[in-house]
Amino acid sequence: MFEKVLIANRGEIALRIHRACREMGIATVAVHSTADADAMHVRLADQSVCIGPPNAQHSYLNVPAIIAAAEITGADAIHPGYGFLAENANFAEIVEEHGFTFIGPKADHIRLMGDKIAAKRTVRKLGIPTVPGSDGPLERGDDVATLARKIGYPVLIKASAGGGGRGMKVARTPEELDTALAAARSESKSAFGDDTVYLEKYLGNPRHIEVQIMADSHGNVVHLGERDCSLQRRHQKVLEEAPSPALNAADRRKIGDTVRKAIGKLGYLGVGTIEFLFENGEFYFIEMNTRLQVEHPVTEMITDLDIVREQINIAAGTPLSCRQKDITFSGHAIECRINAENPDSFAPTPGRVSDYHAPGGLDVRVDSALYAGYTVPPYYDSLIAKLIVHGRTRNECLMRLRRALEEFVIGGIHTTIPLHLKLVTEPEFIDGLYSIRWLEDWLARPKG
Amino acid sequence: MAKLDVDKDLIRDLAELLEETGLSEIEMEDNGRRLRVARGGTPAPATVSPPPVAAPASESPDDQDPASHPGVVHSPMVGTVYLAAEPGAAPFVTIGDKVSIGQPLVIIEAMKTMNQIPAPIAGTVTRILIADSEPVEFDDPLMVIE
């Protein structure tokens, strides 16, 4: 087992990783920018190394600085968290080349799943259902119009190097196709340095349902059920729940087994999430995330497993703590992502947290690096807290969530707590009848 | 509110206990009632204020925090700092040396590469704040040039 893990991230996830390490008796090294010198996890970690100025390019994305920090502290493994370098295959390789263990999948799999076209081809061969589409990049000279007609409008043009909802353009009619194609290509080029695009059927009103898997180096692969992450604004998840209100036990078992077998054949190592769009009872693969996800706690709450601990164990060569038959799903969990944003305009509101009081009580969990007196820096994303609540039933969970949100105090800055409070009493949300377009539609409704 | 029952015997016993043992204070709690007996005189303060922070050994006693000195050279990277080009060689600079802009002051090693750190301003090296083979973080003060 590792003696010392360097946490190459910040904020709530860095704290999460520190906690898992501490509970395993592993020493931690917190690398941080100058803006994060007072961060909670930096204060708690066994060692800290300042690796650069506030901007992420020169700090949290600064590979030489992170490797150097691992060298001078004698770390033996590096956990990349999510975002930043977590899905950077080059970083994974460099980490290993310098004699450290990368707590994550093999670089080849990161690279494979980072190429959305290759990912889709690969998973389809492994038996995972995919969205009908161009089955490959659109080459210049391809008869895109005919292809689009065969798939059936509306169609979606997607960047091969994109992901996380970025680099996508819809063409609803044949007339819109050329413009959408050109726009998608140029945006992709400027955002990802690559203008390769592919075509997919655009699903009208799907839900976003993703399946969590874990795979160790002893051939054991398990799925931990699904999460419903349909509540999104501009492709950013706002609230997640497990299990999905749209699936029953048979659906879950079927997609879980399909995914588990596929990952087994792939020879994947570590934790990962396969994301689907779900419409009319059918699953359609969109992408695989080869990292720990923000919303992993909802799965932890219903399975009673510590996913970060499992991740560290997998990387250290230890077998998973359980086999598929041992995994049980108990009750219902919901996570609210709380951002330092104005709840109406969503404008970011960094600044000093004057008062902080987290909710407590049975089955209430808060993953946050906030504390009274902490200043939320303006340089990074606005997620400042995750409130995760569990109940024996979805109803109990909703009641508990409302109660917990009412208790939560984050003073001095705006947060999206008021938004969540409204959501939790919204009948369509309570009924579980929502799709990926629901939240934006609801937000656009006239107030009052 | 119930009339307070004062157990004089208990208090006398406690007072004797204080004398015998040399303690200055005894406090006890029972059934929601608390009793505290202390020796006469000024009570000991509940917290002891920390002693003044001793200046770190490497700094000369006569001055301000070096990190805020206008002429301080901050480390631009993470790694291990060396004062000379190789072990046994003369250091790049010593205190009192005049340096020009761009002149190498130290080497910082990271990922098996040696990086020369140049003087950002011209002047005289008045303080060297790191020791040879020490790990440095981003922004750590290395030297002062005046």
pTM of the model: 0.84
- Check if the beta carbon of residue A349 is closer than 8 Å to that of residue A342: yes
Residue A7 sits at the chain B interface (C-beta within 8 Å): no
From chain A residues 71-100, the ones with a CB under 8 A of any chain B CB are 71-73, 98
Residue A29 sits at the chain B interface (C-beta within 8 Å): no
Please give chain B's pLDDT, 146 residues, in tens: 445 567 778 888 888 888 888 778 888 877 667 788 887 654 444 444 444 444 444 444 445 677 778 899 999 999 999 999 999 999 999 999 999 999 999 999 998 899 999 999 999 999 999 999 999 999 999 999 99
* CA gap A363, A404 in Å, rounded: 10
Interface mutation vs chain B, best among A72, A78, A94, A96, most B CBs within 10 Å: A72
Residues of A labelled catalytic? 291
Q: Which of A50, A52, A68 sits opposite B79 (nearest CB)?
A: A68
Confidence (pLDDT) at B41: 54
Q: Which residues of A touch B77 (CB under 8 A)?
A: 64-65, 68
Confidence (pLDDT) at A448: 52
Q: Which residues of B touch A67 (CB under 8 A)?
A: 110-111
Contact A51 B135 (CB under 8 A): no
Phi-psi region of A135 (alpha: psi -120 to 50; beta: other; left: phi over 0): left
Q: Which of B80, B111, B138 sits opposite A98 (nearest CB)?
A: B111
Confidence (pLDDT) at A160: 86
- Check if the beta carbon of residue A294 is closer than 8 Å to that of residue A82: yes
* CA gap A75, A309 in Å, rounded: 17
* CA gap A174, A151 in Å, rounded: 12
- Check if the beta carbon of residue A28 is closer than 8 Å to that of residue A9: no
Pull the structure tokens for residue B69: 């000195």
Taking CA–CA distances from B75, the nearest residue in chain A reads A52
Contact A50 B110 (CB under 8 A): no
Contact B111 A52 (CB under 8 A): no
* CA gap A216, A317 in Å, rounded: 7
pLDDT along chain A (448 residues), means of 10: 98 98 98 98 98 97 97 98 97 98 98 94 96 88 89 91 78 94 89 89 94 97 98 95 95 95 97 96 95 98 98 98 96 98 94 97 98 96 97 98 98 97 96 96 85
Taking CA–CA distances from B80, the nearest residue in chain A reads A72
Q: In the 3-class helix/strand/coil scheme, how is A47-63 assigned residue by residue? A: EEEEEECCCHHHCCCCH
The H or E element containing residue A225 is strand A221-233
Residue A443: how many other CB atoms lie within 10 Å: 14
Task: Report the residue count for chain B.
Answer: 146
Q: Which of A34, A59, A67 sits opposite B111 (nearest CB)?
A: A67
Alpha helices in A78-137 (DSSP H): 89-97, 107-114, 116-125
Contact A51 B137 (CB under 8 A): yes
CA distances from A13 to A70, A366, A383, A393, A411 (A): 19, 12, 10, 28, 22
Pull the structure tokens for residue A392: 């024996």
Q: How far is A62 from chain B (nearest CA, A)?
A: 10
Contact A69 B78 (CB under 8 A): yes
Contact A51 B78 (CB under 8 A): yes
Confidence (pLDDT) at B4: 56
Contact A65 B77 (CB under 8 A): yes
In 3D space, the residue among B140, B135, B136 whose CA is nearest the CA of residue B67 turns out to be B140
Kindly state the DSSP code that residue A230 receives in the 8-state scheme: E
Reduced to 3 states (helix: H, G, I; strand: E, B; else coil), residue B26 is: strand
* CA gap A114, A102 in Å, rounded: 17
Confidence (pLDDT) at B64: 62
- Check if the beta carbon of residue A249 is closer than 8 Å to that of residue A232: no
Identify residue B57 by its one-letter amino acid code: A
Q: Which of B80, B111, B138 sits opposite A50 (nearest CB)?
A: B138
Q: Which residues of A touch B136 (CB under 8 A)?
A: 72
Q: Which residues pair with A348 in a beta bridge?
A: A341
Q: State the greatest distance between any 2 C-alpha atoms of chain B, in Å, as a whole number.
A: 85
Q: Which residues of B touch A59 (CB under 8 A)?
A: 138
Q: How far is A49 from chain B (nearest CA, A)?
A: 6
Taking CA–CA distances from B134, the nearest residue in chain A reads A72
Identify residue A236 by its one-letter amino acid code: Q
The ipTM assigned to this model is 0.80
Identify residue B101 by its one-letter amino acid code: I
- Check if the beta carbon of residue B72 is closer than 8 Å to that of residue B122: no
Q: How far is A190 from chain B (nearest CA, A)?
A: 29
Identify residue A284 by its one-letter amino acid code: Y
Contact A50 B80 (CB under 8 A): no
Pull the structure tokens for residue B124: 């005289």
* CA gap B94, B83 in Å, rounded: 9
Identify residue A412 by its one-letter amino acid code: G
Reduced to 3 states (helix: H, G, I; strand: E, B; else coil), residue B107 is: strand
In 3D space, the residue among B142, B143, B144 whose CA is nearest the CA of residue B80 turns out to be B142
